[in-house]
A and B are shown apart, each in its own frame.
Chain A
Amino acid sequence: MLHVEVWRSADRGRFQPFAVPRRPNQTVLDVVTEIQRDHDPTLSYRFACRVGMCGSCAMVVNGRPRWTCRTRVVDAVTTDGKLRLEPLRNLTVVKDLAVDMVAFFDKWMRARGFFEPGAAIPEDFAVVRPESEERRAADEGIECIGCGICYSACDVVAWDEAYLGPAALNRAWTLVNDIRDGAQGERLDAVAGDSGCHACHTHMSCTTYCPKAIAPTYSIAGLKRAVVRRAVRRSR
C-alpha cells in the first residue's frame, strides 16, 4: 500500500492523505490518476502525452521536481511507502497540483528568448555548419520543452522574484549561438543586469533535475562570458 500525501490548495492549503495499492510498473502519474478517478474527482493536476515528451506533468515528488509520467514509484517512494506530491515551486498555484506558467514564460520573453531576424533581408540561406562551435553550443540547450522543473529547482528564483531563471537564460544562450539572429546586442543587454545571468551562483540544481539532460548552469556561464566580452569590447 502506498501512503500518498497530495497538496490541496483550498483555503490555506493542506496535504490530503490517500491509500493507493501498489501495482507493477506503476508511475507517479498512474498514482495521481488513480486518486483523481477512484478517490477524489475534485483533485486538479496536469498531464498530456504521458510518455515523457511534453513536460506537462511536472511536479514535486518527495521533494524533487520531476515528470510524474517518467517517475516510477519504486524509484521515488520512501522506504516506508510514502509519496508526497506538491505543485512546482516558485510558481503561483492555480489549484492543487497545477501551477500558473505565465510568469515562467514572461521571463522567457524578457530574456529575449525568441529569434529575431534583424532588419537586413539575407541574400541567401544561412550556412550553419553542424560541427561549428556555435551550433554545438546551441544543440546542447535546444531540446528544452519548457516544463519548468529547472525553474522550480532554482534557489535564486526562490530568493529573487525577478531572476530570469535557468530556462529563459538557457534559451537565450541557444539564440546567442544562432548566427542568423539579428538582435544579439539587445539580447545580451536583456540577460545581463541585477536579475540576469550574473545572479546565478552555480548551485546546479537546474542541471541536476533537468529531464532532458540540459545543463542550464553551463549555458548561463556562456552568457556570463558573452556579456563580459561585449563589455570589454565596448569599453575600448
Chain B
Amino acid sequence: MRGRPHTQPGFIAALLHRLSGLALAVFVPFHFLALATVLNGADALDSFLSLAATPLVRLSETGLVAALALHMALGLRVLAIEFLGVREQTITAVSACIGVAVAFGVSFLLNAG
C-alpha cells in the first residue's frame, strides 16, 4: 500500500480487538449449541465435555479465554478514551490489555490442567 505508515501501537490494539471479536463471533453460536446438548440429558453434555479434554481442544479453549479477556480489555480502553476522555500512553495501555489477556489465559490453562 502506498506510503503505509509504520505500524503504530494504536493500530495493533485495533487489529487485535477486531480479530479477537471476529474469533468470538464465530465461536459463540457453537458455544450455545454445545451447551444446549443438555436438552438430550446431562449425559449428552458430559460426553461433549469429555471430548474437550484433549490437549488441542484445551489449547483452543485457552486461546478463546484469552481472546475474550483481550477483547474486553481493549474495549475498556476504547470506552475510557471515548467517554472518560482518558489520554494515554498508548504503548503502556495496550501492553496492559495484552497482559490482562495473557493472565486470564494462563490461569485458565493452569486450572484446567
Contacts and interface: CB of A to CB of B under 8 A. Distances in A.
| Contact present between A and B (CB < 8 A) | yes
Interface of A: 60, 63-65, 86-89, 152-153, 155, 158, 201-205, 207-209, 215, 217-218, 221-222, 224-225
A65 B2 CA distance: 11
27 contacts: A60-B2, A64-B6, A89-B3, A89-B5, A153-B5, A155-B11, A158-B1, A201-B14, A202-B77, A202-B78, A202-B81, A203-B8, A203-B10, A203-B11, A203-B14, A204-B9, A204-B11, A205-B5, A205-B8, A205-B10, A208-B5, A208-B10, A217-B10, A218-B85, A221-B82, A221-B85, A224-B83
Interface of B: 1-6, 8-11, 13-14, 17-18, 77-78, 81-83, 85, 87, 90
Contacts of A87: 2-3
Contacts of A217: 10, 81
B97 to A, nearest CB: 12
B99 to A, nearest CB: 19
Nearest to A206: B10
A71 B8 CA distance: 19
Contacts of A63: 3-6
Contacts of B18: 201
Which 9 residue pairs spanning A and B have beta carbons closest together? A204-B10, A60-B3, A89-B3, A86-B3, A203-B10, A203-B11, A201-B14, A221-B82, A153-B5
Given A63-B4, A64-B5, A225 B83 contact: yes
A11 to B, nearest CB: 16
